[in-house]
Structure 1
Amino acid sequence: MGLERFLVLASVLAPVWLVLYYVLPYFTTYKHLQHIPGPVVAKFSNIWVALGARNGKKFAWVDWAHRKYGPVVRIGFNHVSIAQPEGLQTVYAHGNGFLKDHFYEAFVSGVPGVFNVRDRVEHTRKRKIIAHAFSPGAVHAFETHMADNLRRWIRQLDRIASYPTKSNGFAQINMMPWCTYIAFDIIGDLAFGAPFGMVDKGRDECEAQLEPHGPIVLAPGAETLNRRGEVSSTLGLMLSLRPWAKYLPDPFFSNGLKSVKNLHGIAVAAVSKRLDANEKAEKGQKQRNDILDMLVQAKDSKGNPMPRDELISEALTQLIAGSDTVSNTACAVFYWILHGERAAPGTIIPRLQAELDAAIPESADIASHAEVKSLPFLRRCIDEAIRLHSTSAIGLPRIVTSATGVQHQDTLFPTGTVLSVPSYTIHHDAEVWGDDVDEFKPDRWLPGNLTPRQKICFNPFSFGPRACVGQNVAHMELALIVGTAFHRYEFELYQQVLESHEGFSKKPDECWLGIRKRATQV
């Protein structure tokens, strides 16, 4: 009888609790957002947008909402997405004082790094230290490490190309994993002092230390990174669920949380290996010019070095940013260049290869940065592919902190409102880019062709004081990878569309190409 009473009581109280928890705030705390359109569920909770993240398609769900409801859309109970170029200034500009949303707390493992720290003062301290590692002189010194890895990469591509599977001499290759291997090895070399060895092994594998002072084990680095991004992006939208996520029946959460731990373990193992090697090195030995060495040598305003746990978190930040974004973007660049050539034969590849051939000696195995950094058509191809793919596709959420709120066009958003600007959506806005918005047209980037709104709109590395500190390194890597590949090889495209899924960044599922060495390289 007691159980029956409990069940009856629960059946009565549960709807009451749901109304109080989800519906009442809609009419009270967040009544100022009632006039903003959006999916019905999104007006009462973050469940709608979290489901989009759980399915790896948050960027597509938010884009759908904007196409249905307009440029300003409510995607959460207190979260408004602004799909207008002018929104970048409103949400991310210097001096607005906005804070990163609590969303970023889901990405913390260990201590916060420059990516996920929310405190403005602490972020400024971290960024000043890390900025030295990305100064023009430091970035120039990175090229030696990039070149060594590129040579290992082309040896593997040469091997694949030497076994053609098509009658026209092309060998088939999925370019996505090979972009992952080269990006991981380069950032391993730059951030930890040695490549992970993915290119040589031809597989996704890294050393990790999962427990303090525990054994070194092998873990899949890219797969771990992908799962970590997916689960953190989902739990960041449902933070109250985070303590209980490992108990949920959906293995997405338990596997994702395991990946968070594994990824931290990869950073621990790599940093420990490098610092141990530093201690054993003879005094007076020449320092290695890489990111980790610069972080080790860096001092804060009081002359204190970076603590080891913070060093691991910052190295992990570089691992995530330097591998995930570069690998995903490089793969997308390959696809879109070849897609553009397929759509308009003779308009892309001949121009690109003529430009590369004029800059890179015929006998060179790889490109140098000096040869490719200022090639205008190569840069236009890369920028156009970045726009179309939008690796950083989601809107990065910020909390309004001004006591008077912030005005965007006709709407005043009060203190505490969460705002974001979805990069994928503004990069595909026909009102900004024209009716050919979905076409690969590098010449839209000719200086005289860009409109003021297009210049504002392009947002691949975020905007304002929180913009990516390593964007110069990313551009350098992309120019070297793409320039080397299209100078050395012929490619043909074997798929119609580039399907993607999303964690924190948007990753192509696969990219099947044909590859063969160019006649000048045989």
Structure 2
Amino acid sequence: MALQIVLDYLLTFPNNLIILLGLIFLYWVVYSIYSVFFHHYSDVPGPFWAKVSRLWLAKQVLSGTVDQTQRDLHAKYGSVVRIAPNEVSISDPDAIKTIYAVKNAFSKTDFYTPFAPHLSPNEDLFTQRDEKHHSYRRRFVNNIYSLKSVLESEPFIDQVTAVFRTRLDEFAVSGQIIDIGLWLQMYAFDVVGELFYGKQFGFLKNSHDYENYIDSLDALLPALSTICVLPAYVRPLQVFGSLVPQIRKGKTCYDKIVLAAKQVVKERQQLMMTDKVQRTDILDKLFQLSADKEDFSIPDIETEAWVSIFAGSDTTSIATRSILYHLLMTPDALAKLTNEVDNAVADGTLSDPIKHSEAVKLPYLSACCKEGFRVHPSVGMSMPRHVSDPGATICGRYFAPGYRVGMSAAVVHWDKSIFGQDADVYNPDRWLQPEGKEMERYLLHFGAGTRTCIGKNIALAEIYKLIPDLVRRYRFEVIEPEKVQKHSFWFFKQTGFNVRVHRRERASEGRLV
């Protein structure tokens, strides 16, 4: 109230705007002096402008290369780097067990708030910042997202794979060059449709970006990820983002996804009333949960459906792209995996369609997948947390409660002390060494601790079934690999992964697989 009176007074006299701007500048100078010399993080090294304003971090995020920026900063300054006035990035892999602990977990910061769909009074698990409430809500749905539960829907994933094969066969005949990265995302979207929406969206069948979901999310994420790192008091200005055509398109898509989530829940309710539901998918299980749990309402089901689209397609397709791209660019690894898959088919341990339970028993396939997750995680930014009471000692330094710390998978996964001197290259064989099991503790591609991705088992089911199927049936010729690009706008997405598809011949029979 007092501040409002002062502002009203200033703005009633000539030249008072200049005075106001002068006061703002003076405040910034004083704050900068405090931040550089007296702040709790004043002793932490980092770029000068990162110490005085979060705008420096916002600029790095908006560039789409914050993953490389953070690796460069840690190479220059060490394991603890200041990336904003009140936030540090930590690269020491041993800090994972402290920052992302299961017990006394550090809570999420307001970084995640802009992602919230606001469909239910209960925040979704991703944006929920209260650890106790998150734990309470997660217990509701843990069984639904368990591997056993997900695999009960395995036939629905197989149906999507069958459509994908049809498209790839057509491309093999035509010789058309395709962006396989785009098709992998359309595959992931149609799996989401089968599991949460009762049907495929038609990305694959119609060879089309359904409702422009992919294009629109790509337009929205640069602005959204930038807003996430800005101070909370600046975020109301995001309403002006609608003046930018790209952001307006992304916001329209965001609203469409909200409506789609509401509509599918409404349609399933109507089918249930007439006893016409003939499938047991994840959506059906969410309704069963709602009937059993008073605290899990229809808006909560809508929220789960919304999250499945927003988070379930990009993350899975990024991981699948990474595995496939690095295999194609590493001929020795591809040859080993092809041999393993062919032998498994020959001795009858891989059926058609491939079962998840069969695929996970292939050691080199598992090594290839883990290495794909490692060299290119689905998220390329820090996952910030507030230090919990009573504070913590990390990398030999005390961090007081309430201050921000975070780690990036794009940094930790390249740590040579854990993953070897060749940590910057794709080498699946590292996972077959005696220390392979120990290295798994340091993978952050699905998050860590209490906040491990709830959809992890859905992604793993898709990936472990699809990759050996592609290797078994097709040969991909990468076209101009130098044009493949990576952009880290929270999701660490690859673009320009163009290939020509060829059907493989079974050598012993001279026929197409």
TM-score, normalization by structure 2: 0.89
Instruction: Give 1:412-427 correspondences, 5 Å limit.
Output: 412-427=398-413
Correspondence 1:372-521 to 2 at 5 A:
372-402=359-389, 404-450=390-436, 452=438, 454-497=439-482, 498-520=484-506, 521=512
- What is the CA–CA distance in structure 1 between the aligned matches of 2:239 and 2:111, rounded to whole Å? 18
Query: What residue is the counterpart of 2:335 in the other structure?
Result: 350
* Residues 276-319 of structure 1, C-alpha deviations (whole Å, 9 max, x = no match): 2442356555652222211121149x831522322222222222
* Cα distance in 2, alignment partners of residues 247 and 13 from structure 1: 25
Q: Which residue of 2 aligns with 1:188?
A: 193
Alpha-carbon spacing, 1:290–1:69, altered in 2? closer, same or farther (3 Å): same
Contact conserved, 2:108 with 2:129, CA < 8 A, in 1?
yes
Q: Which moves more between the two structures, 192-201 or 236-245?
A: 236-245
The amino acid that maps onto 2:103 is: G
Distance in 2 between residues matched to 1:247 and 1:354, nearest whole Å: 55
2:100 alignment counterpart: 92
Equivalent residues of 2:290, 2:298 under 8 A apart: no
Which residue pairs with 1:340 in the alignment? Answer: 330
Q: Is the 8 A contact 2:88 2:404 kept in 1?
A: yes
Structure 1 contact 92–463 (Cα < 8 Å) conserved: yes
Contact 2:45–2:80 (CA<8 Å) still a contact in 1? Answer: yes
Cα distance in 2 for partners of 1:122, 1:228 equals 29
Tell me the matched-pair count: 490
- Return the letter of the residue paired with 2:93: P
Structure 1 position 511, deviation (Å): 0.6
Q: Which amino acid is the alignment partner of residue 411 of structure 2?
A: T
Offset at residue 438 of structure 1 (A): 1.8
More displaced stretch, 196-205 vs 262-271: 262-271
**CA gap 1:120/1:158 in 2 versus in 1, 3 angstroms:** same
Q: Which moved more, 1:219-228 or 1:39-48?
A: 219-228
User: 1 CA distance for matches of 2:60 and 2:207?
Assistant: 32
1:296–1:305 Cα contact (<8 Å) kept: no
Alpha-carbon shift at residue 274 of structure 1 (Å): 4.5
Deviation for aligned residue 1:144: 0.6
Cα separation, partners in 2 of 1:461 and 1:118, compared to 1, 3 Å: same
Q: CA separation in 1, counterparts of 2:351 and 2:104? A: 49
Letter in 2 for 1:396: M
1:202 matched residue in structure 2: 207
Name the CA distance, whole Å, in 2 between partners of 1:73 and 1:277: 50
Q: State the distance in 2 between where 1:176 and 1:360 align.
A: 26
- Cα distance between partner residues in 2 of 1:229 and 1:374: 37
Conserved in 1, the CA contact under 8 Å of 2:268 and 2:277?
Answer: no
Q: What is the match of residue 233 of structure 1?
A: 225
Task: Report the secondary structure of 1:390's partner residue.
Answer: coil
1:77 corresponds to which of 62, 78, 85: 85
Q: Where in structure 2 are the equivalents of 1:210-229 lying within 5 Å?
A: 219-229=211-221
Q: Distance in 2 between matches of 1:90 and 1:297?
A: 37
In the aligned structure 2, how far is the partner of 1:38 from the partner of 1:250? 35
In 2: Cα distance, 1:499 partner to 1:141 partner? 36
The whole-number CA distance in structure 1 between the counterparts of 2:490 and 2:404 is 18
SS at match of 2:475: strand
1:130 counterpart = 2:141: yes
What is the CA–CA distance in structure 2 between the aligned matches of 1:465 and 1:287, rounded to whole Å? 35
| Cα distance, 1:339 vs structure 2 | 0.9
Question: Secondary structure at the residue paired with 1:397?
Answer: strand
Tell me if structure 1 keeps the 8 A contact 2:323–2:368: yes
Q: CA deviation at 1:250?
A: 7.9
| Equivalent residues of 1:114, 1:317 under 8 A apart | no
Once residues 145 and 248 of structure 2 are traced to their aligned partners in structure 1, the CA distance between those partners, rounded to angstroms, is 31
Change (3 A) 1:126 1:9: same
State which of 16, 20, 41 in structure 2 corresponds to 1:33.
41
Q: What secondary structure is seen at the aligned counterpart in 2 of 1:420?
A: strand
Aligned to 2:168: 157
Unmatched segments (≥5 aa) in structure 1: 165-170, 206-218, 342-346
Give distance in 1, aligned partners of 2:317 and 2:127. Answer: 21
Write the deviation string for residues 351-386 of structure 1: whole angstroms up to 9, x where unpaired.
212211222369976423233221111111111111
Question: 3-state DSSP class of the match of 2:205?
Answer: helix
- Name the CA distance, whole Å, in 1 between partners of 2:17 and 2:264: 57
User: 1:228 offset after TM fit, Å?
Assistant: 3.5
2:345 corresponds in structure 1 to: 360
Instruction: Give 1:187's aligned amino acid.
Output: V
Structure 1 residues 265, 7: closer, same or farther in 2, change over 3 A? Answer: closer
Partner Cα separation in structure 2 for residue 14 and residue 267 of structure 1: 39
**Match for 2:256 among 265, 268, 271?**
265
Distance 2:128 2:246 in 1: 25
Q: Distance in 2 between matches of 1:180 and 1:421?
A: 26
Which deviates further from its counterpart, 104-113 or 255-264? 255-264
**Aligned counterparts, 1:270-349, within 5 A:** 270-281=261-272, 284-285=275-276, 288-299=279-290, 303-304=293-294, 306-341=296-331, 347-349=332-334
- The AA in structure 2 aligned to 1:230 is P
Aligned to 1:242: 235
Once the two structures are TM-superposed, the CA of residue 10 in structure 1 deviates from its matched residue by 4.7
Q: CA separation in 2, counterparts of 1:306 and 1:449?
A: 43
Within 2, Cα distance between the matches of 1:257 and 1:295?
32
How far apart in 2 are the matches of 1:199 and 1:517? 19
Relative to 1, partners in 2 of residues 1:268 and 1:4: Cα closer, same or farther, differing over 3 Å? closer
Structure 1 pair 204–23 and aligned structure 2 pair: CA distance change class (3 A): farther
Q: 1:431 to 1:250 in 2, by over 3 A?
A: farther
Question: Could you tell me which of 155, 159, 166 is aligned with 1:144?
Answer: 155
Structure 1 residues 379-417: Cα deviation after superposition (integer angstroms, max 9, x where no partner) = 111111111111122221110120x21111321000111
Q: Which residue matches 1:172? A: 177
TM (norm. structure 1) is 0.87
Deviation at 1:275, TM superposition (A): 3.2
Higher alpha-carbon deviation: 39-48 or 6-15: 6-15
Q: Residues 204 and 284 of structure 1: is their aligned pair in 2 closer, same or farther, counting only changes over 3 Å? A: closer
- SS for the counterpart of 2:99 is helix
Letter in 1 for 2:424: D
The answer to whether the aligner puts 1:54 opposite 2:54 as a matched pair is no
Give the superposition deviation at 1:121.
2.5
Contact 2:318–2:492 under 8 Å retained in 1: yes
1:183-234: CA deviations, max 9, x gaps? 00001111221111100111211xxxxxxxxxxxxx3111233333332221
* 129-138 or 286-295, larger mean C-alpha shift: 286-295
RMSD after superposition: 2.5
Partner of 2:29: 19
Once residues 155 and 378 of structure 2 are traced to their aligned partners in structure 1, the CA distance between those partners, rounded to angstroms, is 26
Q: Which deviates the most, 194-203 or 427-436?
A: 427-436
1:214 corresponds in structure 2 to none
CA distance in 1, matches of 2:312, 2:149: 15
